[in-house]
Amino acid sequence: MVAQVRRFNRVVTQQVGALNDRFLARDRPLGESRLLWEIGADGRDVRSLRTALDLDSGYVSRLLRSLESAGLVATEPSGADRRVRLARLTDAGRAERRLLDERSDELAALLLATLPERQRERLVAAMAEVERLLTAATVRVAPADPDDAAARHCLRAYAAELNARFEGGFDPARSIRADAADLRPPAGLLLVATLHGAPVGCGALKLHGAEPAELKRMWVDESARGLGIGRRLLAELERHAAEHGAPAVRLETNAALTEAIALYRSAGYAEVPAFNAEPYAHHWFEKPLPPQA
Amino acid sequence: MVAQVRRFNRVVTQQVGALNDRFLARDRPLGESRLLWEIGADGRDVRSLRTALDLDSGYVSRLLRSLESAGLVATEPSGADRRVRLARLTDAGRAERRLLDERSDELAALLLATLPERQRERLVAAMAEVERLLTAATVRVAPADPDDAAARHCLRAYAAELNARFEGGFDPARSIRADAADLRPPAGLLLVATLHGAPVGCGALKLHGAEPAELKRMWVDESARGLGIGRRLLAELERHAAEHGAPAVRLETNAALTEAIALYRSAGYAEVPAFNAEPYAHHWFEKPLPPQA
DNA sequence: TCCATTCTCTGACCGTAGTCAGATGATCCT
DNA sequence: AGGATCATCTGACTACGGTCAGAGAATGGA
């Protein structure tokens, strides 16, 4: 297995990696091309560029100066905070970026060009699978405080999604509460999944001593579905619950959340009679946990 | 399709490419590590290193000097041609290379680590497919003169394989002859498939004006089977035959060559009565060609 | 209000990768 | 034997990517 991965790395970095860079750097230094690309059509503040590309502030500054003197980029102070500067593409810069775009398309087409139709389809399908799973492999799941920026983003997105999907909307005030304190150890646990630093999912647990633990706030961003993040969050939370002596995990859910219900069922949850009076719930599930040694 | 390829390129070059380099370069410049790796356990002459890595001769020389002064490599004049020098790893160099090897394994394991077993298997399978098809996509098929070094290598390998696989061996003198002149335009055509410059397959055609053309010398190196090279050679040769007015392509083959027979059948060839007296043949096939406009 | 912090920029600096033009010695060809 | 060619090496040079230490302006908090 490891040998196959290494073979893959070798072939792909040679074939794709090298070509990619050569295509991107057309007479201009690679760093500048990358920056040009990252600025994007709508402009972007220098600070976010720095963190996105993980570069030294002095270095970014110099690259911007160079792009500026080439007439591709213009910078201006940002309106809100006049310390940060905003980089925008000029018309020439936009044209250059479009060109990079076309070259990337050409490169992609070139990779496919020599293959007959059937193999081409198989290659693209396999690429999609590799990309999906490699992305999944870089998702990090870690405990977070409910007041963290990432955690709050997730919890807001969670409420917004319920509101959008429930028939008649979702009003948190009518629902059974789960305050920040309930999701913080030792009372509970909040896990946040991040991809390249951006929050893409969460899930929480409320512990009740020797009583079953409650599962709360399961949410995965639309852009990150299909990567098995929900399943990972669920497994981690169950492990945590078991470690803290919970004999089972239970949860309530709304009929509109069909994927979530499918996930619970496939993870071994069985439907049980209502164990609380949550007004938004249609189904109640429970899964016994193995007792800890 | 192109968009998927681009997404793949982005994700993979980031994830795999960058990591790969960081792992290989452990405090030492990347170029040196790569060279150390390429020298291999048995040593290698400087010339082949230069062509394999596609580097300037002066640059390679300097890298070798640096590795030498670090005590990792020793060079000596080659026995045969005293202009070329041979680079060998010292014990320390061998240890260092082993370390790189281990780190590559670690890297590969790291990529898989966060995934659950099932996704891991799917990732590795998809990687194998991408690697295989990407390799297939870089195979070049081009006409060659039968006296070229690459062509001669293929023709020798072809005869050697027949000799190994035919019951009772294969003696070219007893078989119907096909001289170099027969495979050279306008009498015929020889195609050679190369992968990174190394010959990995061939196929030839003898034209007979308005009579069916004859297929000859189909061979694919064992290391390159399963990449669709045989099928590509066959298709190219058929195209060529049709362009030169051949109404059909026909061929004779030995019962031992089961994959070849399967290929012919699946490409639309039908078995016909013997049309010549080739002593090594058990089967004769023919495929009609569409008339050219 | 003052002090600490944040953001950007400049100048100085470094190592790596890579190119180019010979010089030297070995080999091949005639 | 002599000239052309080849493999290697050295020296000089360049661009690129990147780091570090401030300086200066803007902002936020006590």
Domain ranges of chain B: 2-114, 140-288
**From B12, B109, B116, residue closest to A134, measured CB to CB:** B12
Structural tokens at position A76:
């201006």
**In the structure, what pLDDT confidence band is assigned to residue B63 with cuts at 50, 70 and 90?**
very high
For strand C, which nucleotides have at least one atom less than 7 Å from a protein CB? 6-12, 15-22, 25-28
Least confident range from A5-19, A172-186, B42-56, B213-227: namely A172-186
Is the pLDDT reported for residue B203 higher than 90? yes
- The residue of chain B with its CA nearest to that of A133 is B123
Residue at the smallest CA–C1' distance to nucleotide D16 = A29
Q: Mind giving me the DSSP string for chain A? A: -HHHHHHHHHHHIIIIIIHHHHHH-SSS-HHHHHHHHHH-TT-EEHHHHHHHHT--HHHHHHHHHHHHHTTSEEEEE-SS-TTSEEEEE-HHHHHHHHHHHHHHHHHHHHHHHTS-HHHHHHHHHHHHHHHHHHHHHH-EEEE--TTSHHHHHHHHHHHHHHHHHSTT---TTTSPP--GGGGSTTTEEEEEEEETTEEEEEEEEEEETTEEEEEEEEEE-GGGTTSSHHHHHHHHHHHHHHHTT-SEEEEEE-TT-HHHHHHHHHTT-EEE---S--TT-SEEEEEE-PPP-
Average pLDDT of the residues in A273-288: 88
* Chain A partners within 8 Å of B127 (Cβ): 4-5, 8, 126, 130
Q: Between B293 and A86, where is the model more confident?
A: A86
Which pLDDT value is given to residue B72? Answer: 93
Name the CATH topology of B140-288.
Aminopeptidase (3.40.630)
Q: Which of the residue ranges B23-27, B146-150, B153-157 has the most confident prediction, judged by mean pLDDT?
A: B153-157
Average pLDDT of the residues in B51-61: 91
Structural tokens at position B127:
């990687």
Which pLDDT value is given to residue A239? Answer: 92
Q: Do A9 and B15 touch (CB under 8 A)?
A: no
Least confident range from A103-107, A166-170, A252-256: namely A166-170
Is the pLDDT reported for residue B210 higher than 80? yes
Is the pLDDT reported for residue A30 higher than 80? yes
**In the structure, what pLDDT confidence band is assigned to residue B293 with cuts at 50, 70 and 90?**
low
Which pLDDT value is given to residue A26? Answer: 74
Gyration radius (Cα) of chain A, Å:
24
Percent of chain B with pLDDT over 90: 40
B65 is near strand D: CB distance < 7 Å: yes
Q: Do B130 and A8 touch (CB under 8 A)?
A: yes
**From A2, A20, A119, residue closest to B9, measured CB to CB:** A20
Which pLDDT value is given to residue B33? Answer: 92
Which pLDDT value is given to residue B13? Answer: 79
Is the pLDDT reported for residue A66 higher than 90? yes
The yes/no answer on whether domain A2-114 falls in CATH 3.40.50.2000 is no
Average pLDDT of the residues in B56-84: 90
Is the pLDDT reported for residue B178 higher than 80? no
Which pLDDT value is given to residue A293? Answer: 64
Average pLDDT, chain A: 87
Q: What is the pLDDT of residues A16-27, one digit of tens each?
A: 777 777 787 778
- Secondary structure of residue B43 in the 3-state scheme: coil
Percent of chain A with pLDDT over 90: 38
Average pLDDT of the residues in A134-151: 84
Question: Which of A's residues 61-80 have CB atoms within 7 A of nucleic strand D?
Answer: 62
Average pLDDT of the residues in A250-273: 91
B81 is near strand C: CB distance < 7 Å: yes
Is the pLDDT reported for residue A53 higher than 80? yes
